[in-house]
Homo-oligomer: A and B are copies of this chain.
Amino acid sequence: MDKPPVPVTARCPVRTALELLGGKWKLLILYQLEQSPARLSALKARIPDISEKMLIQELKVMVDSGLVHRKNFGEVPPRVEYRLTEKGRLAMPVIAACRAFGQAYVRGLRE
């Protein structure tokens, strides 16, 4: 019900990123949407251990921040598709960097 006055403007850009992408699921959801647009049920299947509540909640947050677009087909039964926006694509390098880090870190454990 409350709108934070100035959530993400004019500050340390790393903090901006943390606010927009932080949390347990946002990057993983964006990671899936990177491959292709998807419906809620498809996302749920691709991220098996996320609860439906968190999935919807995080999608809504990212729709509000402009990272994800929500397209309601207005059909019956309901059909809704989620896909990345242009802003959402800006997050792809972050995901790529995380992937690279994760791989390099694990590789380092085996040397």
Contacts and interface: CB of A to CB of B under 8 A. Distances in A.
Interface of A: 8-10, 12-18, 20-22, 24, 27-28, 31, 66, 86-87, 90-91, 93-106, 108-109
A18 B18 CA distance: 12
Given A8-B106, A90-B105, A104-B90, A24 B27 contact: no
A22 B23 CA distance: 7
A24 B12 CA distance: 14
Main SS of chain A's interface residues? helix
A65 B74 CA distance: 48
Contacts of A31: 14
Given A8-B106, A93-B97, A18 B28 contact: yes
A98 B96 CA distance: 11
